[in-house]
Amino acid sequence: MGNSRVSVIGAGLMGHGIAQTFAVAGHRVRIYDAFPKVLESAPARIEAICDLLGQDKAGLRNLSYHGGFEEAVADAEFVFEAAPEKPELKQEIFERLGKSAPADAILCTNTSAIPIHEVGKRVADRSRVIGTHYWNPPHLVPLVEVVQSEFTSPEVVEKTMRILESAGRAPVHVKRDIPGFIGNACSTR
Ligand SMILES: NC(=O)c1ccc[n+]([C@@H]2O[C@H](COP(=O)([O-])OP(=O)(O)OC[C@H]3O[C@@H](n4cnc5c(N)ncnc54)[C@H](O)[C@@H]3O)[C@@H](O)[C@H]2O)c1
């Protein structure tokens, strides 16, 4: 179980489930979404996961909800981005993360198919950008593809694998940063 400071960007289908897995594992989780209505509905959707899985809801006190991007990421050790699958949007978010999150924060993207080096191309230090490709629903499917780009440092890969394991996930290290990684590249061929 962990005590890391995690931020989740996007509280939609994937983001709320990702946040739930870290909160019940003991990590402090700040959730940001660009749309207030999504944030309003997130607590009930996250509680519903605990009901579904028969999990104690005590861990949900580790969660907080933020309409301000900077406050949500200011002291993060890990950021998990789960915003819409639009390259330009993700690049903008990562550019902002590169400036607003601590300089040593690990910046993870849940993109399904966009190469990680593309998502992180506007971050000054790309050694800390990495793919964490969950499957839907992220609280039920343990597999997470941990995708390194040519820039990602081995230490960032290692730390990302460890925090995912602490939240009950089954990370696999993917060493080739190709569109769709393994799962989606192979399933679309
Ligand atoms: N749905 C799946 O089966 C699945 C599986 C694996 C990976 N993914 C990937 O996860 C990511 C999110 O997908 P999803 O299905 O959760 O989408 P979604 O539309 O359910 O959620 C996206 C969330 O991002 C929010 N958002 C929009 N603009 C934003 C911004 N500028 N900053 C922060 N948040 C913003 C939206 O309000 C929404 O709540 C995508 O990259 C997708 O490819 C999805």
What local confidence, expressed as pLDDT, does residue 54 receive?
96
What local confidence, expressed as pLDDT, does residue 159 receive?
98
pLDDT tens for 57-100 read 999 999 999 999 999 999 999 999 999 999 999 999 999 999 99
- Please tell me if the CB atom of residue 160 comes closer than 6 angstroms to any atom of ligand 1: no
What local confidence, expressed as pLDDT, does residue 183 receive?
77
Indicate the number of domains in the chain: 1
Question: Mutual orientation of helices 36-53 and 13-24 as an angle, nearest 10°?
Answer: 50
Q: Which atom number of ligand 1 is nearest to the Cα of residue 85?
A: 41
What local confidence, expressed as pLDDT, does residue 180 receive?
78
- Please tell me if the CB atom of residue 154 comes closer than 6 angstroms to any atom of ligand 1: no
Cα 13 to middle of ligand 1, angstroms = 7
What local confidence, expressed as pLDDT, does residue 186 receive?
74
User: Alpha helices of 62-115 — where are they, by DSSP H?
Assistant: 69-73, 87-100
pLDDT tens for 134-182 read 999 999 999 999 999 999 999 999 999 999 999 999 999 999 998 877 7
pLDDT-derived band at 184, boundaries 50, 70, 90: confident
Q: Percent of the chain beyond pLDDT 90? A: 92
| CB-CB contact of 129 with 97 (8 Å) | no
- Please tell me if the CB atom of residue 136 comes closer than 6 angstroms to any atom of ligand 1: yes
Classify each residue of 74-93 as buried b or exposed e, where b means 16 or more C-beta atoms within 10 Å of its C-beta.
Answer: bebbbbbbbbeeeeeebbeb
Q: Whose CA is nearest to atom 21 of ligand 1?
A: 12
What local confidence, expressed as pLDDT, does residue 1 receive?
59
CATH code: domain of residue 76? 3.40.50.720
- Please tell me if the CB atom of residue 11 comes closer than 6 angstroms to any atom of ligand 1: yes
Cα 36 to middle of ligand 1, angstroms = 15
Q: Which domain holds residue 62?
A: 5-187
CA distances from 91 to 20, 87, 117, 127 (A): 25, 6, 10, 15
pLDDT for 187 beyond 70: no
Cα 107 to middle of ligand 1, angstroms = 16
pLDDT tens for 1-60 read 579 999 999 999 999 999 999 999 999 999 999 999 999 999 999 999 999 999 999 999
- Please tell me if the CB atom of residue 54 comes closer than 6 angstroms to any atom of ligand 1: no
| CB-CB contact of 161 with 173 (8 Å) | yes
- Please tell me if the CB atom of residue 150 comes closer than 6 angstroms to any atom of ligand 1: no
pLDDT for 189 beyond 80: no
Separation CA 86–CA 114 (nearest Å): 9
